[in-house]
């Protein structure tokens, strides 16, 4: 049974990793379009990506928008999560439903609504408009992550701090936040990834100067299948691998240092 499960896991992993095994070699190809296997090997398309403002500008736009969305999302979600998890009030169920609504509504429907709404506010094809739209999409994910962490938090720690004379603000800063910081980091990371990866809404509300990287990849794939797309995909995959492995390596190094110190 164990061998069967290991074999099944290996097959699933191979199925998931297969597209990556194709995209990465294509990023080093000499072909004029996406072609596998590559007829030759070159880093010309990497140079084309880093030296072409048509690609670097959307990349920087996406990074800036995602960072802003992460901050705005946490500013909005943090008090909402504390209110919904710790307090009872009229309309709590409706409020919870409204927070989760963007997860249930198709993005194409949301995109059409934002197109009309932001046009009336004169925020169409602007960075504030994209940030607001992406924040609305990121709120449910951040709320789910943060509420799960908050429900498992021992409130006795806060009561002890308050009984010793600490103000609510100091209690949050010195007691609650240090304990829940992994949840805050995870929630903000989900908001960042949601914004950076979002395509459908960006196709409707972004413009030439506010173009995001996913929209640029979509337009490029639709028009000419530019091999630079493979370069962008490879760089994003590498960034994800680094972010996943970095904490693991840090813990391993910390464990080794502690063992050496003994």
Q: How large is the average pLDDT for residues 75-104?
A: 82
Token reading at 227: 């091999």
30 neighbors 41 (Cβ within 8 angstroms): yes
| Residue in the block written with tokens 């609650």 | 176
Q: Per-residue pLDDT for 261 more than 70?
A: no
Q: What's the pLDDT band for 73 if we cut at 50, 70, 90?
A: very high
Q: Per-residue pLDDT for 144 more than 80?
A: yes
229 neighbors 220 (Cβ within 8 angstroms): yes
pLDDT of residue 9: 78
Q: What angle do CA 11, 237, 24 make, to 5 degrees?
A: 75
Interhelix angle for 53-86 vs 92-104, to 10°?
A: 150
Q: What's the pLDDT band for 65 if we cut at 50, 70, 90?
A: very high
Q: What's the pLDDT band for 99 if we cut at 50, 70, 90?
A: confident
Per residue, what are the HEC states of the chain? CHHHHHHHHHHHHHHHHHHHHHHHHHHCECCCCCCCCCCCECCHHHHHHHHCHHHHHHHHHHHHHHHHHHHHHHHHHHHHHHHHHHCCCCCHHHHHHHHHHHHHCCHHHHHHHHHHHHHHCCCCCCHHHHHHHHHHHHHHHHHHHHHHHHHCCCCHHHHHHHHCCCCHHHHHHHHHHHHHHHHHHHHHHHHHHHHHHCCHHHHHHCCCCCCCHHHHHHHHHHHCCCCHHHHHHHHHHHHHHHHHHHHHHHHHHHHHHHHHHC
- Which CATH code, of 1.10.3720.10, 3.40.50.1220, 1.20.1560.10, 1.10.10.10, is assigned to 60-226? 1.10.3720.10
- Predicted TM-score (pTM) of this structure: 0.82
Q: Range(s) for CATH 1.10.3720.10 in the chain?
A: 60-226
Rounded distance between C-alpha atoms, residue 161 and residue 221, angstroms: 56
Lowest mean pLDDT among 10-24, 49-63, 172-186: 10-24
CB-count exposure of residue 32 (10 Å: 0-12, 13-18, 19+): exposed
88 neighbors 96 (Cβ within 8 angstroms): no
Q: How large is the average pLDDT for residues 158-185?
A: 79
Question: What's the mean pLDDT when you consider all of the chain?
Answer: 81
| Residue in the block written with tokens 């061998």 | 3
Q: How large is the average pLDDT for residues 187-212?
A: 86
119 neighbors 131 (Cβ within 8 angstroms): no
């Amino acid at each position: 049974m164990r061998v069967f499960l290991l074999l099944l896991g290996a097959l699933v992993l191979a199925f998931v990793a297969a597209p990556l095994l194709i995209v990465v070699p294509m990023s080093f190809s000499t072909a004029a379009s996406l072609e596998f296997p590559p007829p030759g090997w070159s880093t010309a398309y990497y140079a084309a990506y880093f030296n072409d403002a048509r690609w670097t500008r959307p990349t920087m736009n996406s990074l800036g928008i995602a960072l802003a969305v992460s901050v705005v999302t946490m500013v909005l979600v943090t008090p909402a999560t504390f209110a919904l998890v710790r307090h009872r009030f009229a309309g709590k169920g409706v409020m919870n439903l409204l927070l989760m609504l963007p997860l249930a509504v198709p993005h194409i429907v949301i995109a059409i609504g934002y197109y009309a709404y932001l046009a009336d506010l004169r925020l169409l094809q602007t960075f504030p408009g994209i940030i607001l739209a992406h924040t609305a999409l990121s709120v449910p994910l951040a709320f789910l992550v943060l509420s799960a962490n908050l429900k498992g938090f021992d409130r006795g720690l806060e009561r002890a701090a308050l009984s010793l004379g600490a103000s609510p603000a100091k209690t949050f800063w010195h007691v609650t936040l240090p304990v829940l910081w992994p949840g805050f980091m995870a929630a903000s990371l989900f908001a960042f990834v949601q914004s950076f990866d979002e395509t459908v809404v960006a196709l409707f509300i972004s413009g030439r100067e506010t173009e995001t990287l996913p929209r640029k990849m979509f337009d490029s794939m639709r028009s000419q299948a530019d091999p630079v797309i493979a370069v962008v995909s490879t760089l994003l995959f590498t960034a994800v691998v680094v972010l996943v492995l970095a904490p693991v390596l840090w813990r391993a190094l910390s464990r080794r240092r502690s063992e050496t110190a003994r």
